[in-house]
Amino acid sequence: MNQRSLGLIGVGTMGGALALNIAEKGFSLGLYNLDADSVDSLLSSAGGLEKHLWKADSVETLVTKLQPPRAVFLMVPAGEPVDATIAELKKHLAPGDTIIDGGNSDFRQTQERSAQLQKSGLFYLGIGVSGGEHGARHGPSMMVGGESEVWESLRPMLEAVSAKFQGQPCVAHLGTDGAGHFVKTVHNGIEYADMQMIAEIYGLMRDGKGASAQEIATLFSRWNEGDLQSYLVDITAKALTTIDPETELPLVDVILDKAGQKGTGRWTIIEAIRMGQSASVIEAAVGARAVSSKRNIRLAAASILNDKIRPQFEVSENDLESALRVGRILGYAQGFRILAAGSEEFGWDLDFAKIADIWREGCIIRSALLNDISQAFRGELPEGRLILSPRIYPKIKKHMPGLRRVVAGAISAGIPVPALSSAVSWYDEVRLGRGTTNLIQAQRDFFGAHGFQRLDKPGNHHGEWHLGQSSAV
């Protein structure tokens, strides 16, 4: 890739930040945006970096001024805007050129786009970019999917702009077509779970113990100095200490309790179901956001269904810390099982240790735990299960009693903890040598003659249920 072969379309918050990052690393970059004023504004604020940036007044001009082989970043909203931009680019690009989708696209659409563009001799990279505006500007974690030769040609630039963990770039080529966007989707699912469990701990402190925002911030700040160290715990502590200048109250106390979502959490659940995997912790987090959006219903229910006397919530801060620690582990574990299922279905051969490595800096779910996860995937891993790793299961066993006490106390006090309670249930399901689905199989055979397998002999069997006895035939 030469110095005049790179363009970027979509100079919004993320696109503009990434453009400055690329320019700061010494790469020339052409810019185009439907709203030309956005490019002008970026150039005027670029300072000394402006010499590496130039403006195009159309997609055609952008492509014409780039030297082949060209690579054009798309930093536009997922869905139809991506398809519309690709359609316009195809009119002007030549075989051997590359389109890079750096947005939160559905990986299945990335697969389709990659296959279609290959017919025109064009390459397509789907890159999951995590880290928000700050990450895009100063170093994001990037998950790359696409042809390996294109990755190699762009690798110097992508490694230069990526976050660094102990000097190592937090970017990697993970597989063909949609692999990068798939990993980013699951990353966001884990992010949903982590944020929800943190919010549940906050709720237990606020509503169960009557703690102030400042007191809760102090707790999170202390936790961030230990094994719970993470970006999300860190910003939680900082958010809780921020004061609203209008009311002089903690800003978090004047924010409406309706959480938004852009869809990637739902995608994670959908893919988990498609692949026959449990994502109960992530699903609980997505469901909690959905419930939060129905505020009118919640207010009505609060006046009708609330008990007059709420039992006291009496759980120690140590147990709360244990609950978050083991809940986080189990959330990650579910996420990596979805990654494993996707890797097998699409033949990506995902390197889970490498994924953990590139998540250690730049991305939203970066945490100290990822060091252990990275090492776990490089060591003994019975049945391929993270929770059975000798580096992981001792932590689960140590902190699970605390999680149980927290969930039990929360349920007794009527304080919702959907993600934490889902973590307990999933853990107990996984470690149950003999479960209860034998009864479900009996029910299915009873009403639908679906058959069942026996413990004592091979083959598919049926029961003579309507005779009141189970003589197998």
Q: Could you tell me which of 385, 398, 399, 470 has the C-alpha nearest to residue 429?
A: 385
* Same-domain pairing of 34 and 132: yes
Its domain, for residue 404, covers 185-430
Q: For position 468, what pLDDT does the model report? A: 64
Bridge partners of 172?
A: 143
Q: Among 139, 155, 177, give the residue marking a domain's end.
A: 177
Residue 1 belongs to some domain of the structure:
no
* Same-domain pairing of 32 and 173: yes
Residue 435: pLDDT over 50: yes
pLDDT, greater one: 312 or 215: 215
Tokens of residue 245, six digits:
């200048």
Amino acid identity for residue 318 in this structure: N
Q: Could you tell me which of 97, 74, 78, 71 has the C-alpha nearest to residue 86?
A: 74
* Same-domain pairing of 211 and 192: yes
CA geometry: angle at 374 spanning 368 and 379, to 5°?
A: 135
Residue 389 belongs to some domain of the structure:
yes
Average pLDDT, the chain: 93
Q: For position 473, what pLDDT does the model report? A: 44
CATH number at residue 121: 3.40.50.720
Q: Could you tell me which of 143, 221, 133, 218 has the C-alpha nearest to residue 177?
A: 143
Whether the ω angle into residue 69 lies within 30 degrees of 0, i.e. cis, is yes
Tell how strand 141-145 and strand 171-175 pair up: parallel
* Same-domain pairing of 292 and 377: yes
Bridge partners of 127?
A: 144
Tokens of residue 248, six digits:
């002089």
Q: For position 178, what pLDDT does the model report? A: 96
* Same-domain pairing of 153 and 198: no
Residue 426: pLDDT over 60: yes
Residue 155 belongs to some domain of the structure:
yes
* Same-domain pairing of 454 and 314: no
Q: What is the mean pLDDT of residues 391-396?
A: 97
**DSSP-derived secondary structure letter, 467:** G
Catalytic positions = 184, 191
* Same-domain pairing of 268 and 362: yes
286 confidence band (pLDDT: 50, 70, 90):
very high
Backbone angles phi, psi at 410, to 5 degrees: -65, -45
Tokens of residue 417, six digits:
């903890």
* Same-domain pairing of 455 and 386: no
Residue 124 belongs to some domain of the structure:
yes
Q: For position 264, what pLDDT does the model report? A: 78
Residue 4: pLDDT over 70: no
* Same-domain pairing of 24 and 121: yes
2 confidence band (pLDDT: 50, 70, 90):
low
Residue 473 belongs to some domain of the structure:
no
Q: How far apart are CA 362 and CA 129, in angstroms?
A: 9
Tokens of residue 361, six digits:
């800096």
* Same-domain pairing of 119 and 169: yes
CATH number at residue 258: 1.10.1040.10
CB atoms within 10 A of CB 121: 11
Q: Among 177, 210, 239, give the residue marking a domain's end.
A: 177
* Same-domain pairing of 350 and 459: no
Q: How far apart are CA 440 and CA 446, in angstroms?
A: 10
Q: For position 73, what pLDDT does the model report? A: 96
Residue 318 belongs to some domain of the structure:
yes
Query: How many domains, the chain?
Result: 3
Q: Could you tell me which of 146, 65, 133 has the C-alpha nearest to residue 101?
A: 146
pLDDT, greater one: 310 or 91: 91
DSSP labels, 280-314 = HHHHHHHHHHHHHT-HHHHHHHHHHH--SSPPP--
Residue 394 belongs to some domain of the structure:
yes
Q: CA of 119: how far to CAs of 126, 140, 223, 345, 448, in Å?
A: 17, 31, 53, 24, 47
Amino acid identity for residue 297 in this structure: I
311 confidence band (pLDDT: 50, 70, 90):
confident
Residue 84 belongs to some domain of the structure:
yes
Convert the pLDDT of each residue in 24-47 to its tens digit.
999 999 999 999 999 999 999 999
Please, what sign has the CA dihedral across residues 175, 177, 179, 184?
A: positive
Q: Among 158, 177, 196, give the residue marking a domain's end.
A: 177
DSSP labels, 318-360 = HHHHHHHHHHHHHHHHHHHHHHHHHHHHHT----HHHHHHHTS
Residue 471: pLDDT over 70: no
* Same-domain pairing of 303 and 169: no
CATH number at residue 461: 1.20.5.320
